[in-house]
């Protein structure tokens, strides 16, 4: 394991922190060069990035979630279960630009790939990819997973033999009213809904939506008004838009994340909505771009804006700052972050400066002071 260390002088006047999760241990699909969880300063005026601190005491802390009071970070350790797949709670001290370990638990599954926290800070949702299960941890008043645990084991398969031999849970997202969680099961080509209740979560879904056969639903995002859900499909390289209601999801249409005529290999990854709700973006690994769309709130449709090269390989994740001015993309395989400015009128992305070198970046979070 690595060690916690400061990596540069803090810029107290910046007022914005980037938190990056990374691969530290190589796997068949990734050559790891990461050091752990990194804190970086982000200049909100220029988009310049500089190093602050590295917490190196976790293995493959690839995906992160930030508590609403910004005092805790939650991280998965993306490993096989025998190798120590885990869930870590970290103390985040923004004024001192530091991270320390508060708690670590087993992930109760294989290869955890996503983690999320509910709005009240009472539940932690961990998606275990290889074992196909969603684990829900009860959080105490200090934000620590010290209470009950519910382990939901999904079953299913799809037509893509090497990717869909079984269920593969990839993401869990709370509905805007906090009463349900939507789960992307990439292996079963399903989006399933589970009711959140006093027992943490109902272990049986109350709604299951089948998506396109062999499309591999990976991540989803709600529109700001809560009326629409947009699901990005890894293998199909598409986004399907749905109207969300009490009865479930009603398909509204589909768009490609790739430009017309593109014939190369590519796999869609992350999807995000702009804070002002006008634009939506998705990342393409292979085409190595961010696809931009205008989000039409009246009918939930998506109008293409363009495709913007990430100046690196395999943009696994990206984040938009709370002001909506900046987008930062994590180029996992070329070991760098790329900063874009966002045009507030058109939604177009313009690269700013040179890519910031960092080993095997995956998750990107903004943490305001």
In a domain, 211, yes or no: yes
164 shares a domain with 151: yes
Q: Are residues 314 and 346 in the same domain?
A: no
Supply the pLDDT for residue 10.
42
**Does any domain span residue 6?**
no
Task: Considering only residues 199 and 98, tell me which one the structure prediction assigns the higher pLDDT.
Answer: 98
Split into its structural domains, the chain has a count of: 2
- Kindly state whether residues 285 and 317 are assigned to the same domain: no
Check pLDDT > 90 for residue 199: no
| Same domain assignment for residues 29 and 132 | no
Residues 232 and 263 in one domain: yes
Q: Is residue 84 part of a domain?
A: yes
Task: Confirm whether 3 is domain-assigned.
Answer: no
Give the per-residue pLDDT at 5: 52
CA-nearest of 109, 124, 247 to 196 is 124
* For range 92-103, the mean pLDDT: 96
Mean pLDDT of the 296-324 span: 96
Contact 213, 203 (CB under 8 A): no
Higher pLDDT, 248 or 332: 332
28 exposure class (CB count in 10 Å sphere: 0-12, 13-18, 19+): exposed
Both 323 and 192 in one domain: the answer is no
Give the residue, 330 or 5, on which the prediction is more confident: 330
Residue written as token pair 């809904």: 193
The predicted structure's pLDDT at residue 246:
85
Length of the chain: 369
pLDDT for position 303:
97
Q: In terms of domains, do 36 and 140 share one?
A: no
Host domain of residue 19: 15-55+310-340+359-368
* 241: pLDDT strictly greater than 60: yes
Q: Which one has a higher pLDDT value, 320 or 5?
A: 320
Note whether 150 and 140 are within 8 A (CB). no
pLDDT over 90, % of the chain:
93
Looking at the fold, whether 104 and 185 belong to one and the same domain comes out as yes
The pLDDT of residue 11 is: 42
Q: Tell me 88's DSSP state.
A: E
Residue 278 forms part of a structural domain: yes
Residues 247 and 101 reside in one and the same domain: yes
* In a shared domain, residues 195 and 323: no
Q: Is the per-residue pLDDT at 4 higher than 70?
A: no
235 lies in some domain: yes
Q: Are residues 22 and 82 in the same domain?
A: no
In Å, the largest CA–CA distance within the chain is 53
320 vs 85: CA distance, rounded Å: 29
Q: What is the pLDDT of residue 7?
A: 46
Q: Is the pLDDT score of 364 beyond 60?
A: yes
Over residues 133-170, the pLDDT tens digits come to: 999 999 999 999 999 999 999 999 999 999 999 999 99
Residue 362 banded pLDDT, cuts 50, 70, 90: very high
DSSP 331-346: ETTTTEEEEEEE-TTT
Q: Is the pLDDT of residue 298 over 70?
A: yes
pLDDT of residue 369: 66
Confidence of residue 346 (pLDDT cuts 50, 70, 90): very high
Q: What is the reported pLDDT for 253?
A: 95
Alpha helices in 84-187 (DSSP H): none
Domain CATH for 150: 2.130.10.10
Q: Which two tokens mark 328?
A: 């930062």
Residue 2 forms part of a structural domain: no
- Tell me the average pLDDT of the chain: 95
**Residue 8 reports pLDDT greater than 50:** no
Q: How far is CA 10 from CA 51, 55, 349, 352, in A?
A: 8, 15, 28, 22
The mean per-residue pLDDT over the stretch 255-271 comes to 97
Q: Is residue 82 part of a domain?
A: yes
Residues 47 and 65 in one domain: no
Alpha carbons within 13 A on the beta-carbon side of 206: 13
Please answer whether residues 292 and 306 qualify as being in contact, where contact means their C-beta atoms are separated by less than 8 angstroms: yes
pLDDT at residue 198, rounded to an integer? 87
Q: How confident is the model over 25-77, as pLDDT tens digits? A: 999 999 999 999 999 999 999 999 999 999 999 999 999 999 999 999 999 99
Taking residues 325-350, what's their average pLDDT?
Answer: 98
If you average pLDDT over residues 340-346, what whole number do you get? 98
């Amino acid at each position: 394991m690595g060690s916690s260390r400061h990596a540069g002088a803090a810029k107290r006047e910046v007022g914005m922190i980037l938190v990056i999760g990374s691969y530290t241990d190589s796997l068949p699909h990734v050559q790891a060069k990461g050091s752990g969880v990194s804190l970086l300063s982000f200049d909100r005026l220029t988009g310049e990035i500089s190093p602050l601190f590295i917490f190196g005491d976790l293995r493959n802390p690839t995906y992160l979630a930030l508590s609403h009071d910004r005092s805790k970070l939650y991280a998965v350790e993306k490993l096989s279960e025998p190798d120590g797949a885990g869930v870590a709670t970290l103390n985040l001290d923004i004024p001192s630009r530091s991270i320390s370990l508060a708690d670590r638990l087993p992930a109760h599954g294989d290869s955890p790939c996503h983690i999320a926290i509910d709005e009240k800070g009472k539940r932690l949702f961990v998606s275990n990819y290889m074992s196909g299960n969603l684990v829900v941890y009860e959080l105490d008043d200090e934000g620590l997973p010290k209470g009950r645990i519910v382990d939901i084991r999904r079953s299913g398969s799809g037509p893509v033999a090497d990717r869909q031999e079984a269920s593969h849970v990839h993401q869990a997202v709370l509905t805007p009213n906090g009463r349900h969680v939507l789960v992307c099961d990439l292996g079963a080509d399903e989006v399933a809904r589970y009711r959140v209740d006093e027992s943490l979560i109902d272990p049986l879904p109350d709604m299951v939506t089948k998506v396109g056969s062999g499309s591999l639903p990976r991540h989803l995002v709600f529109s700001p008004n809560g009326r629409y859900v947009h699901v990005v499909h890894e293998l199909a390289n598409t986004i399907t838009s749905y109207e969300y209601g009490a009865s479930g999801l009603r398909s509204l249409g589909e768009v490609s994340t790739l430009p017309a005529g593109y014939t190369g290999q590519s796999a869609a990854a992350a999807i995000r909505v702009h804070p002002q709700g006008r634009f939506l973006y998705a990342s393409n690994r292979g085409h190595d771009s961010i696809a931009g769309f205008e989000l039409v709130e009246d009918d939930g449709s998506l109008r293409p804006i363009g495709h913007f090269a990430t100046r690196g390989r395999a943009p696994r994740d990206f984040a938009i700052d709370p002001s909506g001015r900046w987008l930062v993309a994590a180029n996992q395989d070329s070991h760098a972050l790329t900063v874009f400015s966002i045009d507030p009128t058109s939604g177009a992305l313009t690269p700013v400066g040179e890519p910031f070198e960092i080993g095997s970046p995956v998750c990107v979070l903004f943490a305001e002071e």
